[in-house]
Amino acid sequence: MKAAALFHNRSVYSFEVFPPKPDVPIERIFETLAALRDLSPDFISVTYGAGGSVPGASTAEICRTIQETHGIPSIAHLPCINETKESVLEKLKQFRALGVENILALRGDRNPAVPPQTDFAYATDLITFIRENSAADEFDIAAACYPEGHPEAPDLDTDILHLKEKVGAGASHLISQLFYSNRDFYRFREKIAAAGIFVPVEAGIMPVTSKKSIERMVSLCGASIPKRLAKLMARYANDPASLKAAGLEYAIEQITDLREHGVDGIHLYTMNNPDVARYITEAVSE
């Protein structure tokens, strides 16, 4: 099922998972997926695993399991910064073979230790290439957006101009980077509408479950930490259990408020933790 069709006259609720690391048994991801299935997400996206961190557990293979075993639509992440046109064509071939029809087209993070390839400078280039090398409507393509602006963009307005190019190239819906101030998201939503971007936008929510992991994530993606959340993190700096509890409640409040403001969807970054996903899902479903 094409993910874009899920947004018709309703708010979507979806999850993100990632392929297992080489030292993690492959069974772990299957257990995670089985636990998430019971929460009835509209779709599950799978981050990029180069050729399968564990044999049989590539992004595309996990997507197939989500669809065939659990009956849930899936979206395969495809970052292009280290891809060539030939390697992308191979991945599209694999997607076809495994029944994957939804792609999240990304540029991907820069790695100083790995020089980027030169075929795709931006996600827009990848979206255009997929559209040019696939049958009409063969793949549904989602793209990322940044409520506070991409960390490499000079300002939010410039970033939104680039976002409009992604949509113009063929992105049918957007999934936002994590954010912790709903006001930033609402401002972003107003700005993209003013710029003529009207595709659905899912709000990306990453619960705070540890101080170290969130500080690392916000440093990578450029998201800010509001004063209220910063105070919580400082208050429970030496009390991980209380910080996790407070972080989960913060995420629940974010989701509740977003839904009250008519958000197109919620994309929960599960961090492969079905217990966290269950706690939040049950709380926002009450």
Count: domains in the chain: 1
For residue 277, being part of any structural domain is answered with yes
- CA nearest 75: which of 19, 134, 15? 15
CA distance 235 to 230: 9
Phi, psi of 150 (to 5 degrees): -65, 140
- CA nearest 229: which of 217, 220, 187, 190? 217
> Taking the complete model, does pTM exceed 0.85, yes or no?
yes
For residue 13, being part of any structural domain is answered with yes
For residue 87, being part of any structural domain is answered with yes
pLDDT for residue 222: 84
CA distances from 274 to 34, 38, 196, 209 (A): 9, 10, 37, 13
CA distance 147 to 165: 16
For residue 231, being part of any structural domain is answered with no
Residue range of the domain that includes 265: 3-208+250-284
For residue 213, being part of any structural domain is answered with no
For residue 225, being part of any structural domain is answered with no
- CA nearest 7: which of 153, 148, 202, 141? 202
pLDDT for residue 54: 62
CATH number at 10 reads 3.20.20.220
For residue 67, being part of any structural domain is answered with yes
Q: Which residues are catalytic?
A: 16
Enumerate residue ranges in the chain where pLDDT < 70. 50-56, 286
CA distance 35 to 73: 16
Note the pLDDT tens digit of each residue in 241-270.
999 999 999 999 999 999 999 999 999 999
pLDDT for residue 57: 79
For residue 183, being part of any structural domain is answered with yes
CA distances from 54 to 21, 27, 61, 278 (A): 7, 10, 11, 26
pLDDT for residue 50: 54
2: amino acid identity, one letter = K
Which is it for the CA torsion 168, 169, 175, 177, positive or negative? negative
Which is it for the CA torsion 237, 253, 41, 101, positive or negative? negative
